[in-house]
Structure formats: C-alpha cells, structure tokens
C-alpha cells in the first residue's frame, strides 16, 4: 500500500502476536490498510478476527504480551508530522495519542471514571497536551459537550458520569475524543452496548464528527447495519487477515469473496420470517385459538424493592399477554424494558408482585418453591450468555444430563448418556462433544448445547432469553435456524426474548413490544412490523439499521423526520 | 467457518483427561506454566518446603538423639556445650542436643499445621458455603462474628484459646491440639470469607440459575455447582496459612503457652529458653531454631506467593512471543483484547 499524502493512517504489513499460556498466537497477520482524511473506514469481522487488535495498534494500545511487526504510519492533523507508531517510545506515544488519533470505547459506562465530573475528564486530555488554564479548559469542555449534543452543557459539565444516560455517556466519550481535534477517531464497537434507538443517535453523531469536525473514523463493528449506515469503505477481516476491501456500496451489492457473501447472507433482515409464520399459522388445527394458554399474564406487575429510601423500581407494569400451546411469542424491548424480568418470572426466578401470571396451570403470584418444582420440569430455559450458563467443571454430557438426574429420570449422568447423545444429535453436535468441557466449545456450539439441555425433559414451554445476542452473525444464523427447526418438530410453546427486531421477526408468530415495563403493542409480525401503531414501535423500527446502504439512507431520512418530531434531534 | 476459529476442530485428537490428570494438580500445573523469576521463586519455595517435609518424615533417623534426651551411655550431655563432634550444633541451657531438637521440632510443626488447617478448612468452607448461599440473618451473624475474630490480635486470641483448651496441662497431643485449635480459631474467618465471597459471586452465575431452573435442590446446587467452583483460590491460602501457622505456633511456644520440652520439641520454646544465652555469647542455642523457623516460613510463603501470582493472569509472566512457533490461526475466543478481563479469561480458558 502506498502512503498517499492525504492518508491519515497507513498500516503496512502489520503482524501482531500474543504470548499466551498456550504458546504464541498470531492475532493479526500481514494487514495493510489506509484511511484517508475525512473518511469512515469500517473494519468488520467476527470475534477473534483481529479487528480490534488492528485498530488498537494505531494508538499503540496493545498489552505487553504483544509483539508487533510492520509499520503503522500516523499523520498529524496539519500533515506536518508522520510517525511510525510501532517504533515510538512511551513518551512519544503519549504525545501522539489524543492529538493525532483518539479512541471511543465500546462500553461508555466503564470508559468514564465515576469519581470525577465529566468536564474534568474532558479537560484531562487537554492538560496532557500542553499547559492550559483552568478557565480555558472548562470553556473548551463546555464547547465540545454542546457540539456532541449534551443539553445545558454549562451546567452539566460539572455532573458526574452516573447522572447521564447510556447514550449521553457515549456522547461524552466521543466529546473526550474530539476535544483535541484529532485527525482520526478509532471507534471500537461504539454502539454495541447501546439500545437501537440510542444507537441511531450515536451513529448520527459520529457522522457529524466526520462532516463537522473533519475527522476520519476507523469504525470497528460486527453489525452490518451500522456499516451500511456510516461507512464509506469497508475492510472485512477473517482470522487475522483482510480478506476483502471495497467501497461500501460495492461490498453490499457485489461482495467478491465467499466469506463476505456468507457473512452478508447470515444477517437477519426484517420481513424474512413472515412467510414462515404464515405457513405455521395455516397448519394449525381449527379451534387452536380456544386452547388453554400455556402462559397467561393479566395485569402482571413486578417491582424490585428500592433500598435505603430510594423508591421501588417498577420493572413490569400491568402487562397482559398469553402464549398458546405451540406458539412462539417474541418479546422485544430495549434494556430496562422488563423483558428479561418477565422471562425470569415465568421460570420462577423472580417474584411476581401483583396481577396474575398463570404458567402451565400454576399461579405464580405468591407461589412457593416446593409447589412450583413439579412445574419446572415442563419448562426449558436458554440463557443469554453461553459462556457462563455452563458449570465450567462439568462436561457437556454431565451438564445436559443434569435435568434428567435432578428429576429422577436417570440415576447418574452415565445412565443418561443415551438420551444425552440423542439430544446432542438433535442440536447437531457430534456425540463426542459430550466428553468436552464447556470452554472447549465455541460460543455457538455452547449455545446449541444449552438448547439441548433445555430440551432434555421435553418441555411444553421454552423461555429463550436473548439466546443469540452474544454470538457472531453467522453463528447466530445457524442457531436461529436450528431453533426454528426444533420448534417445528417438537412443537413447544416459546417465549423468545430479544432486543433485535429482525431476529424476533424471523422466529415469532406474534410479537409483543415492551417499553419501560409496559406492553405498547402486540400482534403478528406483519401487523407490528408492517404497520406499527404506537410511536415507540415506529421509532424502534426506524432506528434499526439495515444491511443495505441505499435502503439505509432512505430509512435514515425517515428516522430523522421521526426524531425531529419527538425532539430527539434538533431541527436542522 | 466461524466455529473453527474458537474451538478445536471436531476431529482433532484429544488428550485423554485421565492421563493428563497429574498435570492439572494444583502445584504441578503452576510449576509447568511458570517462567523466569516466578519459576525460580516457586522452585526455591518447593525445595525448602520439600526439605522441611522430608526432615519431618525421617526425623527419628536424621536426629542423633531423642528430643528430650539429656544423657547417653557416656553420661549427661552437659548444658550450653559449644558445637562439637558429639553435638554438631551444641547443647541447650537445659542440656538437650540442639540438632535433635531442631529436627524433631519439624514434626511438631507439621502436625500442628496439618491439624490446624484440616480443622479450619472444613469448618471455614462449610460455614462460608452455607452463609454465602442462603444469606439472610445467619449470614449476617457469621460475618459479624468473623469480623470480631479478625479484630482481635491473632496471637492474643491464640493465647486465650491455648489456656482455655489445655488448662495448663501439656501432654504431647494436648499441647499440639491446643496449639492447632487456637490457630484454627484464627484461620476459620479467612476460609469463611474467601469461600463466602466466591459463593456469593457464583450464586448469581447463569449456570447456577440454570440448575435452579431444571429443579435441582439446594444441597445439590451447593455441592455440585457452587462448592467445586469456589475452591480455586484455596490452595494458595492454604500455603500462606501454613506459614502463618508456624509463626503462631512459635509465638505461642516463645511466650510459654506451647508444648513442654519433655512432651515434644518445639522451636518457639527453644528460642525462649535461649533468650538469656544471647547476651552471654552462646549463639548456637538461638540461631538454629530461629533459622529453622525462617527457612520453613520462607519456603511456604514463596510457594504461596508464587501460586498467588500465577493464578492471576495479569501478574503471570509468559514466554516472550517468538516468531518461530507462531500458531497459524488465532485460537483466543473473543480476541485477546476484548474488554480486558474477558479477553484474559479467554486465554486462561483455552489453556485449561
């Protein structure tokens, strides 16, 4: 790659290796990339593809166990200086960081120090690069806060991080990156920890970073919708190498490499599941709608008691819904909307405070643990994080056999092995995987094993709490497909909880949208996603970035119009 | 495919876990993964500890005389004799052979350590598990009691316990038990706290909830899911406590609350008896028991501290990343850098 004069960053044949307990591991191999001034380069890839390591090497932010080869040329804003970050000393790195390149982290709640006011933290960057008076630092912090869209910056500059919402915190992190006016901003999954509606706002802000501040952006993400929304150029990484680099429109319309094609194909899109839901509906016997529901909630209310004079937190407020036998209800909502709480209440993990919740004939309001235990065996539960939902000291076979042993279907895990093998085959895992430990499986394999465990007792009801949100897109696609297949074969009723509308749309017969503990809309996929009635659903739908640059540009316009009506964005 | 990035391929040959078993044993495992200075510390500690264990095991063979022997065929040894061919390390003010006292003292030390640690381990782990798992008023009471025990100077507590337990008597086992139990009382809170903290953390892990969802009872969840995951840090507390137990025992002996010289040899007592010798230039009675205490404590502490460092991936040093044996595909789940601790955990998981 030639280093053209206007390139802010030029990475040339970069290789990074890590020393680990298991020997040396090459994370990045022979990567060459360049970012022009004012350009948004998206680096996409699955976890472990080396995208984060590549981006962090631009700032020299690698741990001591890393060995770096190759060159990372970083040009200063005015073009006067160019440094090879790989060879810089610690002190020189300190000068370059923040001034020439800045970083926006994934998790805004951990990137800010909770014991200092945000203005102080923004000024910290200014102080690190030359003497500046307290007054001037404050003025610049206020200025940059205003420019990233924090209301009343004069007052809020003295507030502490916990006084801001997640989206605002991410704005502050971006302000921190912008305050020194760097030539390039490295944004490492800047919206992954945020809700869809907030994500849309942050993406809008990042776009303004480029347009108004003239900063180039290196955007690391696994979300193809975000790429389509923001990027000018895309580099696809796989196993530490760049497999494809192209203009964003070219990449989405005509991906060259098979890997890229497969990656794009596995992204769930809205409307894909409608045909399937209709097919399922047509196969249902007459009178199905009259069948006794598996789960029925009436004015369900769940309150977490507040402690130390703080008010109680109402997680679920007057929610009514029903799941009939063999039906998949998709529960959608943002974090804090109470969707997980409802799932946990159905499984008896959280107490119901008010209203009525009937699960398989048992009333959950005021239920006793002993009385509920026989009902438990008829319920399966798939947890969100496959990494933590397995006891690390038990083999997969032992973990899958656990429900059988606990419920006296087998004396010990060995006796249950026959059934375990059947289950593993049902979720398309080889039998030999039964002898492995959880950490020897990948995330997708673990989630399939988790599905096998939840199906061990042939449950009538399955609760899946964000089962794919911790997985890569291509793995997610396969797990979802398997899920749909098993549901068709075994016919269990299911509560599918997710924050991703496209995923829910793929599987669910009916979709329920939660917003701040209240059910705002419920209906079939076609009803809710095709013609959303509630303004919140409309905004949620418009915020969802789709993996198609042309389509996304149109949707963005819709979203901006909606957002201006609601006052989220200033009228331009 | 994506799955092959993070997991071994399905047809990869797998080492038989039972044959690999000995390598997973606590100390052996750490010895294999350590490098450089950390390895040096661990090896030095293990050697000192090994020497201590061997001495204790073969004390009757190694020591020229018995621990309470005052005379042999040629008559009494004589008090405060300087080192000579008959008495390599001289004799004490009471007329005992110093070498024999030092060698036999290792037996007493190890007995006290074993009894103290076994007692405190069982009581502490059980209490911590129950307290952390069920919580509520029992938990609050136990935590307060343990904090109260912490607030006492541990030696003072041990002295009080020694008086209560032995009532001034001092047979061999009475003395050892008294010392061991007084040390136990001091140590139970440590095990209690560690196991309780781990239990509270693990109780909220998804796999425990998943066990609850399938209908497992409390006892089964506690033993099968929580306890086995809560004991990871115990080996290193164990070694650190062993060295502390020796110091407490020596302290008790030095203050005169330990074991009588006729019942068993005990380093702390010998040091106490050698107090008056120091000013009159008789060095051998105090140097050798003191040296024995220092070396054993040093050995155990070295083992404990290096286990501690090795257990923490952030403190563990690794072989430098060479280019020769670089693996072709990255096998770190989630990438080595993902969100700090998560990434490091990933590295650890791959290894274990």
Would you say A420 and A375 are in contact if contact means Cβ atoms under 8 Å apart?
A: no
pLDDT of residue B323: 43
**φ and ψ at residue A342, rounded to 5 degrees:** -65, -45
Closest CA to A427 of A448, A446, A445, A443: A448
Rounded-to-integer distance, Cα B160 and Cα B257, Å: 9
3-state secondary structure at position A260: helix
Cα–chain-centroid distance for residue B213?
38
Across chain B, mean pLDDT equals: 77
pLDDT at residue B130 above 90?
Answer: yes
- Are A7-218+239-262 and A274-378+459-531 equal in CATH topology? yes
A397 touches chain B (CB under 8 A): no
Chain B nearest-CA residue for A63? B337
Would you say A177 and A92 are in contact if contact means Cβ atoms under 8 Å apart?
A: no
Q: pLDDT of A398-422, one tens digit each?
A: 999 988 988 888 888 888 888 899 8
B311 touches chain A (CB under 8 A): no
> Which residues in chain A have their CB less than 8 angstroms from residue B34's CB?
none
Instruction: Tell me the two tokens of residue A292.
Output: 């006794």
> Which residues in chain A have their CB less than 8 angstroms from residue B7's CB?
440-442, 445
| Cβ neighbours for A222, distance < 8 A, ≥ 6 positions apart | A44, A45, A46, A47, A189, A192, A472, A473
Cα dihedral value A33, A36, A41, A47, nearest 10: 30
pLDDT of residue B126: 92
pLDDT of residue B23: 66
Rounded-to-integer distance, Cα B100 and Cα B71, Å: 13
CATH 3.40.50.300 is the classification of domain A7-218+239-262: yes
Would you say A332 and A352 are in contact if contact means Cβ atoms under 8 Å apart?
A: no
CATH 3.60.15.10 is the classification of domain A274-378+459-531: no
Which of the four pLDDT bands, split at 50, 70 and 90, describes residue B291? Answer: very high
CB pair distance less than 8 Å for A402 and B331: no
CATH numeric code, B25-316: 1.10.3720.10
User: Considering only A297-306, B26-35, B248-257, which range has the smallest mean pLDDT?
Assistant: B26-35
Instruction: Tell me the two tokens of residue A201.
Output: 């706002």
pTM of the model: 0.76
Question: How many angstroms away from the CA of B156 is the closest CA of chain A?
Answer: 38
pLDDT of residue A373: 83
pLDDT of residue B345: 39
Closest CA to B295 of B112, B133, B109, B35: B109
CB pair distance less than 8 Å for B213 and A376: yes
Residues 368-387 of chain A with CB under 8 A from chain B are 373, 376-377, 379, 381, 383-385
DSSP class per residue in A300-345: EEEEEPP-TTPPPEEEEEEEEEEE-TT-EEEEE--TTSSHHHHHHH
ipTM over 0.85? The verdict is no
pLDDT of residue B169: 60
pLDDT of residue B218: 87
Cα–chain-centroid distance for residue A343?
19
pLDDT of residue B328: 43
Rounded-to-integer distance, Cα A389 and Cα A450, Å: 8
Q: Where are the domains positioned within chain A?
A: 7-218+239-262, 274-378+459-531, 387-444, 538-572
Q: pLDDT of B1-21, one tens digit each?
A: 333 344 444 444 444 444 456
Which of the four pLDDT bands, split at 50, 70 and 90, describes residue B272? Answer: confident
Rounded-to-integer distance, Cα B330 and Cα B4, Å: 10
pLDDT at residue B318 above 70?
Answer: no
Q: How many CB atoms lie within 10 A of CB A417?
A: 18
User: Considering only A123-132, A486-495, B104-113, B228-237, which range has the smallest mean pLDDT?
Assistant: B228-237
In which element (H, E) is residue B205 found? none
CB pair distance less than 8 Å for B207 and A389: yes
The bridge status of strand A233-238 relative to strand A216-221 is unpaired
Q: pLDDT of A80-109, one tens digit each?
A: 788 888 888 888 888 888 888 888 888 888
> Which residues in chain A have their CB less than 8 angstroms from residue B220's CB?
406
Rounded (to 5) percent helix, strand, coil in chain A: 40, 25, 35
CB pair distance less than 8 Å for B206 and A388: yes
A106 touches chain B (CB under 8 A): yes
User: Considering only A477-486, A493-502, B176-185, B294-303, which range has the smallest mean pLDDT?
Assistant: B176-185
* Residue ranges of chain A with per-residue pLDDT less than 50: 1-4, 571-572
């Amino acid at each position: 790659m030639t280093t053209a004069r206007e390139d802010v960053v030029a990475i040339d044949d970069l290789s990074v290796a890590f020393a680990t307990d298991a020997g040396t591991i090459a994370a990045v191999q022979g990567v060459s990339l360049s970012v022009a001034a004012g350009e948004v380069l998206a680096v996409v890839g699955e976890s472990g593809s080396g995208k984060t390591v590549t981006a962090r090497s631009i700032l020299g932010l690698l741990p001591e166990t890393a060995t770096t080869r190759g060159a990372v040329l970083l040009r200063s804003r005015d073009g006067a200086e160019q440094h090879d970050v790989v060879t810089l000393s610690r002190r020189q790195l300190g000068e370059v960081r923040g001034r020439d390149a800045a970083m926006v982290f994934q998790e805004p709640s951990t990137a800010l120090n909770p014991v200092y006011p945000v203005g102080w933290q923004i000024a910290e960057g200014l102080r690190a690069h030359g003497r500046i008076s307290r007054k001037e630092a404050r003025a610049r912090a206020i200025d940059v806060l205003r420019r990233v869209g924090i209301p009343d910056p004069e007052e809020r500059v003295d507030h502490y991080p916990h006084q801001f919402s997640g989206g605002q915190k991410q704005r502050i992190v971006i302000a921190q990156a912008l305050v020194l006016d760097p030539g390039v901003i490295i944004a490492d999954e800047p919206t992954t920890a945020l809700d869809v509606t907030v994500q849309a706002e942050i993406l809008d802000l990042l776009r303004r970073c480029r347009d108004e501040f003239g900063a180039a952006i290196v955007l690391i993400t696994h979300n193809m919708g975000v790429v389509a929304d923001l990027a000018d150029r895309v580099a696809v990484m796989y196993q530490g190498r760049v497999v494809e680099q192209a203009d964003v429109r070219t990449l989405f319309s005509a991906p060259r490499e098979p890997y890229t094609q497969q990656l794009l194909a596995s992204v769930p899109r809205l409307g894909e599941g409608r045909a399937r839901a209709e097919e399922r509906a047509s196969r249902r016997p007459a009178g199905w709608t009259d069948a006794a529901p598996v789960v029925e909630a009436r004015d369900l209310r769940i309150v977490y008691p507040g402690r130390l004079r703080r008010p109680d937190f109402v997680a679920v407020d007057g929610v009514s819904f029903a799941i009939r036998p063999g039906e998949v209800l998709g529960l959608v909502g943002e974090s804090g909307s109470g969707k997980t709480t409802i799932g946990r209440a159905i499984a008896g993990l959280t107490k119901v405070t008010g209203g009525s919740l009937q699960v398989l004939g048992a009333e959950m309001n005021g239920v006793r643990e002993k009385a509920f235990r026989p009902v438990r065996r008829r319920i399966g539960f798939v947890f969100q994080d496959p990494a933590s939902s397995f006891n690390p000291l038990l083999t997969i076979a032992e973990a899958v056999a656990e429900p059988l042993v606990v419920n006296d279907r087998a004396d010990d895990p060995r006796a249950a092995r026959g059934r375990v093998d059947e289950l593993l085959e049902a979720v398309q895992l080889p039998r030999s995987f039964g002898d492995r430990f959880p950490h020897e499986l990948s995330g997708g394999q673990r989630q399939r094993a988790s599905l096998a465990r939840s199906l061990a007792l042939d449950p009538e009801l399955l609760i899946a709490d964000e089962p794919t949100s911790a997985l890569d897109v291509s793995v997610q696609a396969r797990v979802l497909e398997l899920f749909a297949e098993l549901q068709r074969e075994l016919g269990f009723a299911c509560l599918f909880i997710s924050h991703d509308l496209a995923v829910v749309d793929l599987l669910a017969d009916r979709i329920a949208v939660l917003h701040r503990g209240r059910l705002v809309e419920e209906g079939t996929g076609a009803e809710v996603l095709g013609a959303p009635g509630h303004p919140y659903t409309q905004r949620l739908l418009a915020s969802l970035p789709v993996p198609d640059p042309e389509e996304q540009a149109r949707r963005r316009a819709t979203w901006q119009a909606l957002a201006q009506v609601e006052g989220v964005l200033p009228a331009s | 495919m994506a799955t092959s990035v993070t997991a071994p391929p399905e047809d990869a040959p797998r080492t038989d876990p039972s044959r690999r078993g000995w390598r997973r044993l606590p100390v052996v495992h750490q010895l294999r993964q350590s490098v450089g200075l950390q390895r040096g510390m661990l090896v030095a500690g293990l050697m000192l500890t090994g020497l201590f264990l061997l001495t204790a095991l073969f004390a009757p063979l190694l020591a020229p005389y018995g621990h309470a022997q005052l005379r042999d065929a040629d008559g009494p040894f004589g008090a405060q004799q300087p080192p000579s061919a008959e008495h390599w390390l001289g004799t004490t003010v009471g007329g005992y052979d110093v070498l024999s006292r030092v060698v036999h003292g290792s037996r007493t030390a190890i007995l006290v350590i074993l009894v103290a640690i076994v007692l405190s381990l069982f009581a502490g782990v059980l209490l911590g598990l129950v307290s952390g798992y069920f919580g509520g008023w029992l938990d609050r009471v136990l935590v307060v009691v343990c904090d109260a025990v912490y607030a006492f100077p541990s030696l003072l507590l041990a002295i009080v316990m020694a008086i209560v337990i032995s009532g001034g008597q001092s047979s061999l086992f009475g003395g050892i038990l008294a010392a061991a139990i007084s040390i136990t009382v001091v140590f139970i809170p440590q095990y209690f706290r560690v196991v309780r903290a781990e239990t509270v953390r693990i109780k909220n892990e998804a796999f425990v909830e998943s066990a609850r969802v399938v209908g497992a009872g409390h006892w089964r969840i506690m033993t099968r899911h929580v306890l086995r995951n809560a004991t990871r840090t115990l080996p290193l507390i164990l070694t650190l406590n062993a060295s502390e137990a020796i110091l407490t025992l020596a302290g008790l002996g030095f203050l005169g609350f330990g074991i009588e010289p006729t019942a068993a040899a005990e380093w702390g007592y010998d040091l106490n008896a050698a107090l008056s010798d120091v000013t009159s230039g008789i060095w051998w009675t105090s140097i050798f028991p003191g040296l024995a205490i220092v070396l054993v404590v040093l050995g155990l502490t070295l083992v404990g501290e290096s286990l501690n460092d090795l257990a923490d991936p952030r403190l563990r040093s690794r072989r430098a990343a060479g280019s020769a044996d670089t693996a072709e595909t990255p096998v770190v789940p989630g990438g080595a850098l993902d969100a700090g601790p998560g990434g490091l955990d990933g590295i650890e998981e791959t290894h274990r």
